[in-house]
Structure 1
C-alpha cells in the first residue's frame, strides 16, 4: 500500500535528493577523459563550428588546465591528444599549440575559483540568437538550470585573443553559470566537467526553443518562485553526474576511440 500520498512536496524532494546522493556516484573517469568525452558529446549535439570553440578544465597543478590542440576538431579529441597548458597558454604537456582564444578562459579561472570547467562553442541556435542582440530567455521547465544564471554581453568586443576581451567577458559573466555573447556564441562556467557539459547542451536547446517561440509569438516568462525552485532542484552535482553518464555512454558507443581503454 502506498504511504507517501499525503507527504508534502518539500519532504518528497528532500528524500529524492538523498536517494540521488546515495545512488549517483562519480564515474571514476579522469579529468582528461571527461574533457575528451565532452568534446565528442558536443560534436554529436551540433556544437562544432570548424575549429572554433574551446573546452578547458583545471588540472592538478594550480594555474594549469587541459584543452584541445589547435587544428583538431571536437570529433578528433582523445584523452591522449589533449594539451596541458598554463595561464599564458604555454604547452606543458602534449604536442602542438592551444587556441589563442583560450586567453579569456584564464581570466575566468582567475576570477572564479569555483569554476573547474569552461565550455565555449558557437552552436548554431546560440549563434543565431546572439545575432539578434537579445538575452537568453529561460521559459521552459527543461531549461530552468539556467534560470537567472545566464548573463548577456550585448556588445561584441572582437576576436577574443587579447587581455581586453578576457577582462570584458569575465566581468560580464560575473557569478553566473553561463553567458550569451552577442554576435559570437556561449560560454558555460561549470563547477565540474559534468555540469559544464550538461549546461552547454542545455543552452543550445534553450536558444533553439526561444527562436521557435519568438517566431510564433511572444515568449511568456516563468513564475519566479517556481522557476527558482526548479533551478535549485535540477542544478545539483548528482543530476549533472547522471546527465553526463548518459551522454558519455552515447559518445562512447559512437566514438570508441576517444578513451585509451
Structure 2
C-alpha cells in the first residue's frame, strides 16, 4: 500500500468543499436566531441578572435589534426583541432597550463588518477581568480568539453614556472580542451566530486559562499554527453548524412567546 503524503492545504480545501455541501444553513428568522443565542448563553451559564446584552444591526441605518430590558437570557422568546434607534427610542416591538447597550452604537459605527454584539459578565471571563488578565491562547479550542481578543485595562464605568462607547470601541479595534478589566467581555461577530460562537468559546477559554495556571505559567500556541487554526475554526460552515447543534441542545425549537 502506497500512501501519498499531501500538503495540508489539500485537506483544508477538501474539508471546506465537503462542509459547504453537507453542513446546511438553517432557516430562521432574526428573532428566532437571537432567541436561540440567548438560550445558548443561558445554557452555558453566562447570565448575570440583567447585565448581559445582545444586539444585531438592523437593516434600518443607525438602528439595532436587542432583547427588551427586564428579561434574562433564559426567558427570551422571538417576540421579546425590539428595534431601537440611536437614541434608544423603540421603533419596533414593545418595551425599552437596556440603557447600557448604548456603547454598541459606537462599535457598529467603527466596524462596518460587525453585525452582532454580545456582552456578558460570565463567571470565568469576569474572573479574568477581575484579575486584569488578558487572554493567553494556550490550547487548540482557544484559537478562534488567537490575535482576535483585545484587552481594556481600565474600567470606564457603567456604559450608559457616549464616552464609554468611545473607549470600548477604540480598545476593541479590529478584533472580534475584548476582555474588559473589572467588568466582563464583548464579542463582535459578522453574524449573531458568530458572536454567540465566540462568546461560548471565550468563556471556555477563560475557564481553561484559570484552571491551567494552577500548574504554572502558560505557553501560548505557536503563532503560525494558531493563526491557521483560527481561520479554520471560524469558517462560517463550522460556526453555523455548531450554533445549530447548540440550538438542538436547547430543545431544538424557539420558545413560544406565551405570556
Could you tell which deviates more after superposition, 239-248 or 60-69?
A: 60-69
Take 1:170 and 1:241, find their aligned partners in 2: how far apart are those partners?
A: 26
Counterpart in the other structure of 2:25: 26
Using a 3 Å threshold, how does the CA distance of structure 1 residues 256 and 107 change in structure 2: closer, same or farther? closer
Give the conservation status (yes or no) of the 8 Å contact 2:80–2:257.
no
The CA deviation string for residues 129-153 of structure 1, in whole angstroms up to 9 with x for no partner, is 1111110111110110100000000
Instruction: Give the aligned partner of residue 197 of structure 1.
Output: 196
**How far did 1:256 drift?**
5.3
Structure 1 residue 186 corresponds to structure 2 residue 162: no
Deviation, 1:23, is: 2.0
Report matched runs for 1:77-226 at 5 Å. Answer: 77-226=76-225
* Separation (CA, whole Å) in 2 of partners of 1:92 and 1:4: 62
Residues 69-84 of structure 1 correspond to what in structure 2 (within 5 A)?
A: 69-84=68-83
Contact kept in structure 2, 1:36 and 1:258, CA below 8 Å:
no
Change (3 A) 1:107 1:141: same
- The whole-number CA distance in structure 1 between the counterparts of 2:28 and 2:3 is 37
Bigger mean CA offset, 214-223 vs 35-44 = 214-223
Partner SS, residue 20 of structure 1: helix
Q: How far off its partner does 1:251 sit?
A: 1.4
Q: What is the rounded CA distance, in whole Å, between the counterparts of 1:122 and 1:61 in structure 2?
A: 29
TM-score by length of 2: 0.95
- The Cα shift of 1:96 comes to 1.6
User: Hey, what's the Cα distance between the residues in 1 that align with 2:169 and 2:233?
Assistant: 25
Gaps of 5+ in 1: none
Q: Distance in 1 between matches of 2:3 and 2:96?
A: 57
Match of 2:242 in 1: 243
- Equivalent residues of 1:70, 1:97 under 8 A apart: yes
TM-score by length of 1: 0.95
Residues 37 and 258 of structure 1 are in contact (CA less than 8 Å); yes or no, is this contact kept in structure 2?
A: no
Aligned partners of 2:207 and 2:159: how far apart in 1?
25
Find the aligned partners of 2:5 and 2:151 in 1 and give their Cα distance.
43
1:257 corresponding residue in structure 2: 255
What residue number does 2:66 align with? 67
Gaps of 5+ in 2: none
Which 4+ residue blocks in structure 1 deviate beyond 4 angstroms? none
Aligned equivalents of 1:88, 1:111: Cα separation in 2: 17
> 2:35 touches 2:254 (CA, 8 Å); kept in 1?
no
Q: Which residue in 2 is equivalent to 1:13? A: 12
197-206 vs 92-101, which deviates more? Answer: 92-101
Q: What SS does the aligned partner of 1:80 have?
A: helix
Q: Aligned partners of 2:94, 2:37: CA distance in 1, in Å? A: 20
Q: Is the 8 A contact 2:32 2:254 kept in 1?
A: no
- Change in Cα spacing, 1:97 to 1:128, as seen in structure 2 (3 Å) is same
